[in-house]
Structure 1
Amino acid sequence: MGILEDKGRARLFYKYLSKVYDQVNPFIWNEEMRAEALALLDIEQGDRVLDVGCGTGFGTEGLLQHTDNVHGIDQSIHQMQKAFQKFGKRDKVRFYRGDAERLPFKDDSFDVIWSSGSIEYWPNPVDALEEFRRVVKPGNEVLVVGPNYPKTTVMQKVADSIMLFYDEEEADRMFEEAGFEDIEHVMMGPSYDPDIAITTVARAPEK
């Protein structure tokens, strides 16, 4: 387990990163990538969408282009304070402070679940994905963007020491173990590294 796959360390990390996050983020996860990911989902106006690990609201901003019923949850109050400045606490978006592995919502609460740049910090990603399956409506989709596993041995060792990086095979295992179906992956990235991110779309089974 990487050093940032610890909730306390991750919160401390984001306490400081939040100050420059919106300036750094575009070099790794930019608007073009966000639009490409959003195009994988069929979000209709009025759909109730949950943004897990919403951070400063970069993904949230994209979701608001498709529906006005967006909810964001994050464990870092420092990241969320940046989001509050953009959207207000309860104006455009309803925000919650909480944990991906213990979502504070009833079963079948959302039409779509989105999570970008968060899974790499979850100590137990399958537990969180099971929560996604619980709170998304049966037959509906979830989308998760995470860091693609590096190809070189040196970078793999560096990645493993920091946080969760994974490939398509591992993504299949996690989503299947969590009970999802119709699992598909798309590699994304900026021009300097077009495969830096792995985006997975999966469907919750019908009951």
Structure 2
Amino acid sequence: MGVLEDKSRARTFYKYLSKVYDRVNPFIWNEEMRDEAIGLLGLEPDDDVLDVGCGTGFATEGLLEHVDQVHGLDQSEHQLERAVGKFGTDGPVEFCRGDAERLPFDDDSFDVVWSSGSIEYWPNPVVALRECRRVTRPGGQVLIVGPDYPNQTVFQKLADAIMLFYDEEEADRMFHEAGFDSWRHHIQQSRPGSPRAITTHAQVPEN
């Protein structure tokens, strides 16, 4: 387990990162990549959407270009403070502080569950993916964006020490164990040589 897959360490990390997150994030995960991933979902205005690990609301902004309302959840109070500062408390986003591994929502609550830049901090990603599946309605969609495993050995060792990086084979294992039976992976990159994102678009089985 990487250093930042510990929840208390991750919260401390984001206490400080939240101050510069919106300036740093575009170098790794930019609007073009975000919008490309959102385009996979074919969203309708009345879709119920949950943004797990919403952070400061970068993905939430993009989702709101397609739907009327988004639920945003994050474990970091500092990230949520930034997000609330953008959207307010009476706007189109309903924020909630919570844990991806214990989502505070009923079964079958959402048409779409989205999570970008969060899975790498989950100590038990399969448990969290099961939770995403649980709160998504049968036939709905789950889209997860995480960091693709580096190709070079020196970066692999660094990645393993920090947080979860994974390849398509590992993603297949996690989604299968979480109860999904249909998904596709998409590799995204902001520019040549920059870190790659692995974006997995999964369908929740019909009952």
Distance apart, 1:47 and its partner CA: 0.4
* Contact 2:49-2:112 within 8 A present in 1 as well: yes
CA distance in 1, matches of 2:179, 2:51: 20
Distance apart, 1:195 and its partner CA: 6.1
**2:58 match:** 58
**2:78 match:** 78
**1:19 match:** 19
* Contact 2:59-2:116 within 8 A present in 1 as well: yes
Amino acid at match of 2:17: L
**1:97 match:** 97
CA distance in 1, matches of 2:165, 2:62: 24
Amino acid at match of 2:114: W
CA distance in 2, matches of 1:73, 1:188: 24
**1:49 match:** 49
**1:177 match:** 177
Alpha-carbon distance change, 70 to 23 in structure 1, aligned in 2, over 3 angstroms: same
* Contact 2:5-2:163 within 8 A present in 1 as well: yes
CA distance in 1, matches of 2:202, 2:8: 29
CA distance in 2, matches of 1:54, 1:90: 17
**2:124 match:** 124
Distance apart, 1:140 and its partner CA: 1.0
Instruction: Report the number of matched residues.
Output: 207
CA distance in 1, matches of 2:70, 2:6: 27
Distance apart, 1:22 and its partner CA: 0.3
Distance apart, 1:136 and its partner CA: 0.2
Structure 1: runs of 5+ lacking an equivalent: none
Distance apart, 1:194 and its partner CA: 6.2
Structure 2: runs of 5+ lacking an equivalent: none
Amino acid at match of 1:145: V
Describe the superposition over 1:145-196 as per-residue Cα deviations: whole angstroms up to 9, x where unpaired.
0000000111100000000000000001000100012110000011133661
* Contact 1:112-1:136 within 8 A present in 2 as well: yes
CA distance in 1, matches of 2:90, 2:145: 26
**1:30 match:** 30
> What TM-score, normalized to structure 1?
0.98
Identical amino acids, percent of aligned pairs: 69
